[in-house]
Amino acid sequence: MRQGCVLRVARPTIKDVARRAGVSTATVSYVLNQTVPVSTETKRRVESVIKELSYRPSGLARGLAGQRTRILGVAALGFNDLALSDSFFAEVIKGIGEATYRLGYSFMLSSPSLGEEAGRSSIDVFCDKGVEGIILLNGREDEPELSELSREGIPVLSIGRCAGDWPFVDTDNVYGAYEAVKHLISLGHKKMAHLVGKPGLTSSADRLAGYRRALAEAGLPVEEEWEVSGSSTKESGFQAMHRLLAQKERPTAVFAFNDAVAIGAIKAIRQKGLKVPEDMAVVGYGDDPVASYVDPPLTTVRQPMFEIGALAAEKMAALAHGGKIGGEPARVLLRPKLIIRESCGSSLWLN
């Protein structure tokens, strides 16, 4: 070894402890923090490996006695274009930040741009840091991480309704979509299409259900060829609208999964030489800040995004304390509000 060089031995990580003890990183975390009970045998085995490896929790130095960290993890797993395509998650995260600060917590945010595998790895990092609970940013119809984390005793709450009885905070997407399509029907439209969100998201399924419910209530048929699947981006809306306009018969109105999709659809409509709302009425969802500035200003469904984030943090903190809120699991649906602007051309379509 050259003079002046120091041989540094890599410090053992929580993954090393978990691997040696034959348990998950979550189990190690909860032995350290004493926030979730584990069996006496498992606790003894984990403590033995911790002493054997001289493991110390990174940056926290809490020791086996453990202390509450007052840290929450916020993770986006898969469907990462949602976090990048509109303002929804930015406002939600602002709400989480306000509530955690007010409650004396902090939060760690995983990067949604690194892909699903990196997102799952971030949960290991959360466990290493001893987070007291994890907020998932995107509810899906199939959320295997919820089951996995629940088995380890980690409190988890989803932004967006998940299938089953998992805790969540969301807006009532069925109601919001129903109100949007009912408004189009009130203007005299009988031929309405829906640009569907990404498959697998509960918000996509719920908004589709609301669209169909409004049609059924009005005695209008569901035309499956007018339910065009896509995603959540402007480009997705642009492409989906082109496919819709290529059909032999076109609708007179379209309800889009979100505002970004609606804006992309408006571009495609104009590219075909048609006008909004004269030839095609358009409704979005979300009330993105740009919705009132596009031409024409977009009729949309407003979600209380900041409130969703703040409530999620409050419920998660309560779950981390005792697993229940007021004796019941945290499952909250907030009512969205229809915002009527010019993209529906109310005066043009009234009978």
pLDDT in tens, 27-66: 887 787 666 678 888 888 998 998 888 886 654 444 334 4
Average pLDDT over residues 158-180: 88
CA distance 2 to 207: 66
Residue 270 is inside which H or E element, if any? Answer: helix 259-271
Give the pLDDT band (50/70/90) at residue 144: low
Beta bridge partners of 328: 325
What per-residue confidence (pLDDT) applies to 145? 61
What gap in Å lies between CA 67 and CA 46, rounded to an integer? 17
pLDDT digits (tens, 9 = 90+) for 236-263: 999 999 999 999 899 999 999 999 999 9
| 1 has pLDDT over 50 | no
Please give the DSSP secondary-structure letter assigned to residue 184: H
Residues 6+ apart with CB under 8 A from 248: none
pLDDT in the model for residue 138: 73
> Which of 17-26, 205-214, 289-298 has the lowest average pLDDT?
17-26
Residues 6+ apart with CB under 8 A from 344: 183, 184, 187, 253, 277, 281, 282, 283, 299
The size of the chain, in residues, is 351
Q: What is the pTM of this model?
A: 0.76
User: Percentage of the chain with pLDDT > 90?
Assistant: 46
What is the distance, to the nearest Å, from the Cα of residue 87 to the centroid of all Cα atoms in its chain?
Answer: 12
Domains identified in the chain and CATH numbers: 1-60 (1.10.260.40), 71-171+305-335 (3.40.50.2300), 173-303+338-349 (3.40.50.2300)
Span of 94-108, 139-153, 225-239 with lowest mean pLDDT: 139-153
Residue 340 clears pLDDT 90, i.e. is over it: yes
**Phi, psi at 108, each rounded to 5°:** -110, 135
pLDDT value of position 323: 54
